[in-house]
Amino acid sequence: MKKDKPNNNLNKDLPIPSYHAMIDHDSKEEFGLKIGIIDADLLSNNSHRFPNLALMKISAYHKYRRSDKVTLLMNYNDIEKYDMVYLSKVFDYTEIPIDIMKYDNLYYGGTGFHYDLMPDLPDFMEHMKPDYILYHSWIGDMMREGAKRKEFEYYLDYSIGFMTRGCFRKCEFCVNKKYDKVQLHSPVKEFLDEDKPYICLLDDNLFGYPKWKDIIEELVTTKKIQSELQLRHKQHWSNKLNTITLKRGNKIKNIIHHTSHYIIDYCNKNKINTLVVGLNKTWKQNCKLNGSATQNFVFIPYDMLIKQLEYKCQDVGVRLIMTEESYTSGTSFLDNETPKKQNYNKSRRVHRGLFKSNNGQLINSDVNGAYQIMKKVFPNAYADGIKGCLTPVIINVVKTTRDIKNGKENFR
């Protein structure tokens, strides 16, 4: 898109947006949408040192509640490539290109537009725990260019939120003049990230809330719990942890690149022209693995894998179809059941990872699920019988020198 000259007088000409479209959207079943997030204050001032809380909540809603693919956009060029793009600015002097407002998929908000007249986020977004990793890719880029971690402390070290909102004083110049009183907004646990050592409250007049002592008590209790954690782990963060985190991120990126490459290569070699991927919008929230397995699963960036599959599929002309995967884990492929509610019976998952068909034949649960996911898109795919596996094969996509020495180059 051609870039227009930024226009500072744009704010007053824009209609006050309504969030009805988003609320309608919440009731829709589509998911896996491409969502773009634009922090206009950040784009206009790259050294901006405070994250946009509303955008982090919007991002969390799309990522964790809907399993959409969220990207923090670092320019205004590709708005039309996304299903929805959210743009926010806090400061009225932040400039944005006037031409972008023509896009129907663009939702804008923030005090930088209409100050106190802007509507609040709908409750289902407002009360999400912020997506504290929204800015991480940008922070990583900045640090690689020489920025210091300290410059991003509000992004990395603080749980941010409002425990109360509003004020009763109605000062003419204040964004809070629309309120009549200070009201309770959210408990600290709603926005607390236990890995962060500090809490940053954005409340404008916390002590104007009649029961402010309760809030202080809640904070003290939270601090005590955090201190216990601190004692247990000795410290919250260190350069060593920083290095480990970066190293882990790079390792995951590498594995995901190899994985997507392997899949595409496999499609190519076997003349497969369509790839079906299942998406479950609550797979991370409902994850019931044991302890650290849950933690590891939740932190795997499936978005990244899907994005890579998307562009690699495009490159080689493979059609990528993403489909919801409801009822696929509790319906039986071997009994030729359609994945729908009437056939759903999860008691046939006799152990984790093992599914028993009605005549007692065993099949790996993931394999059963995968076949059923494919059936969602191609109901008659198995009309001529199947030629495939009932137990999964573990593929080592990242070969280490040790693997090669031990003869485990590809399969293990």
Interface with ligand SF4: number of residues (CB under 6 A): 9
Structure tokens at 174: 């204040």
CB of 202 to ligand SF4, least distance (A): 11
What residues numbered 144-183 form the site for ligand SF4, per CB under 6 A?
Answer: 167, 169-171, 174, 176-177
Gap between the Cα atoms of 75 and 38, Å rounded: 8
Smallest gap, in angstroms, from Cβ of residue 165 to ligand SF4?
Answer: 10
C-alpha span between 168 and 201 (Å, rounded): 18
Residue closer to ligand SF4, measured from CB, 177 or 307: 177
Residue 111 found at the interface with ligand SF4 (CB under 6 A): no
Pick from 26, 31, 77, 22: nearest CA to 302: 31
> Closest separation between CB of residue 110 and ligand SF4, Å?
18
Query: What letter does residue 400 receive in the DSSP assignment?
Result: -
Alpha-carbon distances of 326 from 82, 236, 386, rounded to whole Å: 25, 39, 22
Of 138, 176, 135, the closest CA to residue 158 belongs to: 135
We find the least distance from the C-beta atom of residue 215 to ligand SF4, in angstroms, to be 16
- Closest separation in Å from C-beta 209 to ligand SF4: 12
Residue pair 250/304 in contact (Cβ under 8 Å)? The answer is: no
- Cβ closer to ligand SF4: 69 or 114? 114
Judged by CB under 6 A, the residue of 88, 205, 308, 329 near ligand SF4 is 205
Nearer to ligand SF4 by Cβ, of 60 and 167: the residue is 167
- Residue 170 to residue 296: CA distance in whole angstroms: 48
Where do we find the tokens 């280490």? Answer: 400
- Using CB under 6 A as the binding rule, the residues of this chain from 270 to 299 that contact ligand SF4 are none
Q: In the complex, what is the shortest distance from the CB of residue 174 to ligand SF4, in angstroms, rounded to a whole number?
A: 3
Question: What are the CA-CA distances from residue 146 to residues 157, 243, 385 (Å)?
Answer: 19, 15, 58
Binds ligand SF4 (CB under 6 A): choice among 92, 151, 204, 303: 204
Q: Cβ(88)–Cβ(151) under 8 Å?
A: no
Residue 202 or 377 with smaller CB distance to ligand SF4: 202
The CA distance from 363 to 112, in Å, is 57
Contacting positions for ligand SF4 (CB under 6 A): 167, 169-171, 174, 176-177, 204-205
